[in-house]
Amino acid sequence: MAISRNQLVKELEPGLNALFGLEYKQYENQSADIYATESSDRAFEEEVMLSGFAQAQVKPEGSGVVYDNAQETFTARYTNETIALAFAITEEAIEDNLYDRLASRYTKALARSMAQTKQVKSVNPLNNGMPGGTFNSGDGVTLFNTAHPTIAGTVSNTLATAADLNETSLEQALIDIAAMTDERGLKIAAKGMKMIIPSALQFTAERLMSSAGRVGTADNDINAIKSMGMIPQGYSVNNYVTDTDAFYIITDVPNGMKHFQRTPLSTKMEGDFDTGNVRYKARERYVFGVSDYRGIFASPGA
């Protein structure tokens, strides 16, 4: 359906002083704080988790050495989605517009819609990855889970007891990250790098991360999280996270949260011969997901 003169009555009247509603500021590309971006040249991308070997064993004198097997454990698949939006303007509306700005004005609105859609889709793994959610990692369980299956047992990337963001829960999350193991049960040297929070927790996060002393106590204790530099990249607010008491920690584990860009944002314009309408379209292909769930840790809040 094309935008016609009936929908632009006031814009066609002389004496119009201002139009408003499309000038709002936008949040920056907040997904960049969560994902590593890579290019894609196919319909989907797959990344495979490999297991190494278990701990070495004592070989009794005269006995044969024990052989172990390496193998693939699970596959993370990223299927690129096509995101598009369009609008059309009637030939008469273009002819009669006194300000000759319809195209540029609504093209900017189109870009704004595409940008916000991308930010909303980028937090889908976070918003729907908690136990009981709909977003699974490649191993078949929810992204944040206390029982990610491995050859050697299970691995957790969420608190055993869900808790709100405070000094105790943040310290426990960092302890749990440091205790992570690989597919064969060997310890990995993981640590938290950046915390992602909804806007409702920004004041709590600032006090926890910036105070020289412990928060909310009369003791003369240092803030261990700050003094030890436990989260070196600080925190970032993501305004598209829907759970107001959840918090997330991006770790330094490689191949964690990933964004594949198949086709960058492009716009096209064409006229229709029969109607004279001018059509504008924006289109982009991408996908957000996760390869190694150890790349992120979270708590849904109490």
Whether the CB-CB separation of 157 and 126 falls below 8 Å is answered with no
Average pLDDT value for residue range 120-132: 96
Q: What is the C-alpha to C-alpha distance for residues 194 and 179, in angstroms, rounded to an integer?
A: 18
Mean predicted confidence (pLDDT) in 26-36: 92
Residues in a beta bridge with 25: none
Report how far apart, in Å, the C-alpha atoms of 48 and of each of 73, 74, 200 are: 7, 6, 36
| Residue with token string 């093209």 | 107
Confidence of residue 99 (pLDDT cuts 50, 70, 90): very low
Write down the pLDDT at residue 207: 94
The predicted pLDDT at position 285 comes to: 97
| Residue range 61-70: mean pLDDT, rounded | 94
Residue 43, classed as helix, strand or coil, is coil
- How high is the pLDDT of residue 255? 96
Q: What is the pLDDT of residue 206?
A: 96
More confident residue, 57 or 218: 57
CB 197 within 8 A of CB 235: yes
DSSP state of 63: P
CA–CA–CA angle 141, 145, 150 (5° rounding): 65
The single-letter DSSP state of residue 81 is E
Start-to-end Cα distance in the chain: 47
- pLDDT level of residue 1 (50, 70, 90 thresholds): low
**Position 9 pLDDT exceeds 90:** no
Mean pLDDT over each residue of the chain, to the nearest integer: 89
* SS3 label, residue 115: helix
- % of the chain at pLDDT higher than 70: 90
In this structure, of 70-74, 79-83, 165-169, 265-269, the range with the lowest mean pLDDT score is 265-269
98 pLDDT more than 80: no
User: Sorting pLDDT into bands at 50, 70 and 90, what band is 65?
Assistant: very high
- How far apart CA 191 and CA 189 sit, in angstroms, is 7
Looking at residue 88, what is its pLDDT? 86
pLDDT-based confidence at residue 5 (cuts at 50, 70, 90): very low
**Model confidence band, residue 19 (pLDDT cutoffs 50, 70, 90):** very low
